Amino acid sequence: MNGEWVDDFLLSGPDQETVLTFGTVVTRGELRAEVERRQKGLRSAGLTPGGAAVLRLPPSLALVATLLAGWRTAAQCALVDHRLTPSEAGAAIERINPQVVVVPDREIRGRLRGYFETDSVVTTREGGEPARSEHVLLQLSSGSTGPSKVIGRSAESLIAEVERYGLLNSYPKNGGRIVVLASVIHVLGLVGGLLHGLHNRIPLTLPSSHTVDSIHGAVAADPAPTTLLGVPSQAALLALVKSPPALRQLTGMITGGETVKPETWQLFTSRYGVPLGGMYGMTEAGMIATDLLGTTRPGLTPAPGMTVETADGEILLRLPANPYVGRTDPKRYVDGRLHTKDAGTLDPGTGLLTVHGRLDQQVSVGGLKVDLTEVEALISGLPGVREAVVVHGSGIEAYVAVTEAGVTGEDLSRETAARLAPYKRPRRLIVLSALPRTPTGKPLRSPDALRAAARAEVGR
């Protein structure tokens, strides 16, 4: 597909219409002008139709305009998270081997920042190659369970997903606004936030930071009906506020990623008086199933146009093409079906999909099956526990962050022993000050990474 889809599908509309707020308001006309300016810079660096660029930019006007400029050039753009270490980012760039790399013009600091005021530096990469596939977008999987995969999306795929969002009755429509807390380089914030908003003429706001006060302020800044779009950890943060301000324009919050815990859902909905909905999706396919009003928990309704199946307890998706670029597991996409490696069931009566967690969380201990999600849920619900991750290495291991000083691994092991059969109990239960996370905020589930985090904490 040529670059005309950017103008036709994303940038068309009245010049004076507000499209983005990064501290200051950006109109559609201003965004178009900025895209044209960035496009000239990319062309000067040698990016041509069919070329490839890596964008390693933080959430900013520079990121949005450069991404649209790359697509408008009919080039492939790969998004690399600015929060990765130089070593991780360098490895990703080597894997993709683009012709052009775009980075910030200054050091980026501020873990909780919602957006950054930064310009960019465009570098021509000697030995870089043009795009090796027809995809317009490359993304890296979260890497929460192992090495990241390179995942490609075509323009047709992105357009189809935006149109799926438009068919959802309870998703933000023209006349409302979205406050985006989710990362705009990953699928929820990018497609469900940025692209959906641009196409459907829904203003997007990124708060200055992801603190409670800043999020509340971003909601309160405009009287239009407002939806929060984020991840479960952000919903949990907001739910901790015992007496939040009256936010009459807040119509609800929608989260993607891991499942929201029941206690978080209960606190959030009671304290804010609005729905807390959820979505199930993957980088490979985008939005898959939803419960936008929190009325069918834990069941989810498959999204329009998504064919969801289950086989041997695994969720399968029918996709028209293999989403992976480069070397990958040949068993992940077979006969038009994507093997998600997520466990799930479909209710034959209601058609609702219930996601039970990763299949690699179903393990055998002494010939007996153990569902690690069950163990994790039990430990997460113990007094004094903020969150927990349970994995299987040489045996079952639990890594726990606690809410108060003085809660020890021995205390939690005793509580666990009273509630779990011996074969389900963790052989190791480690208390950490905080669980290690991926750049996108997901808890790491690699046993090696968790052990390394535990060793580092002991060495402090």
Which CATH number do you get for residue 337?
A: 3.40.50.12780
**CA pair distance 315, 313, nearest whole angstrom:** 7
Is residue 197 domain-shared with residue 301, that is, in the same domain? Answer: yes
Is residue 396 domain-shared with residue 333, that is, in the same domain? Answer: no
Is residue 137 domain-shared with residue 241, that is, in the same domain? Answer: no
By the 8 A CB rule, do 86 and 134 touch? Answer: no
Domain count, the chain: 3
360, 383, 415 - which closes a domain: 360
Count CB-CB contacts under 10 A for residue 240: 12
Is residue 213 domain-shared with residue 310, that is, in the same domain? Answer: yes
Is residue 145 domain-shared with residue 177, that is, in the same domain? Answer: no
Q: Tell me which residue range forms the domain holding 442.
A: 366-458
Token pair, residue 106, equals: 């200054």
Instruction: State pLDDT tens for residues 362-394.
Output: 787 876 778 888 888 889 888 888 889 999 877
In sequence order, the 6+-apart residues with CB closer than 8 A to the CB of 216 are 244, 245, 247
> What pLDDT is stored for residue 328 in this prediction?
77
Cα 334 from chain centroid (whole Å): 25
From residue 262, alpha-carbon distances to 232, 269, 276, 343, 377 in Å are 11, 11, 11, 19, 10
310, 339, 360 - which closes a domain: 360
Is residue 350 domain-shared with residue 414, that is, in the same domain? Answer: no
**CA pair distance 191, 212, nearest whole angstrom:** 24
330, 360, 390 - which closes a domain: 360
> What pLDDT is stored for residue 377 in this prediction?
85
What is the rounded radius of gyration, in angstroms, for the C-alpha atoms of the chain?
A: 22
Is residue 73 domain-shared with residue 112, that is, in the same domain? Answer: yes
Q: Which helix (H) or strand (E) holds 412?
A: helix 409-417
Q: What are phi and psi of 52, to 5 degrees?
A: -135, 135
Is residue 162 domain-shared with residue 270, that is, in the same domain? Answer: yes
> What pLDDT is stored for residue 145 in this prediction?
45
> What pLDDT is stored for residue 440 in this prediction?
66
Is residue 196 domain-shared with residue 257, that is, in the same domain? Answer: yes
Query: Domain with 387 in it: what CATH number?
Result: 3.30.300.30
* C-alpha distance across the termini of the chain, in Å: 53
> For the chain, which residues score pLDDT lower than 50?
144-146
**CA pair distance 229, 169, nearest whole angstrom:** 16
For 259-270, b/e burial (b = at least 16 CB within 10 A) is bbbeebbebbbe
**CA pair distance 221, 61, nearest whole angstrom:** 19
> What pLDDT is stored for residue 54 in this prediction?
97
Query: Domain with 82 in it: what CATH number?
Result: 3.40.50.980
> What pLDDT is stored for residue 144 in this prediction?
46
By the 8 A CB rule, do 155 and 5 touch? Answer: yes
Is residue 343 domain-shared with residue 277, that is, in the same domain? Answer: yes
Token pair, residue 447, equals: 């046993």
Is residue 95 domain-shared with residue 161, that is, in the same domain? Answer: no
Token pair, residue 436, equals: 């290690």
By the 8 A CB rule, do 78 and 53 touch? Answer: yes
> What pLDDT is stored for residue 409 in this prediction?
86
Is residue 246 domain-shared with residue 374, that is, in the same domain? Answer: no
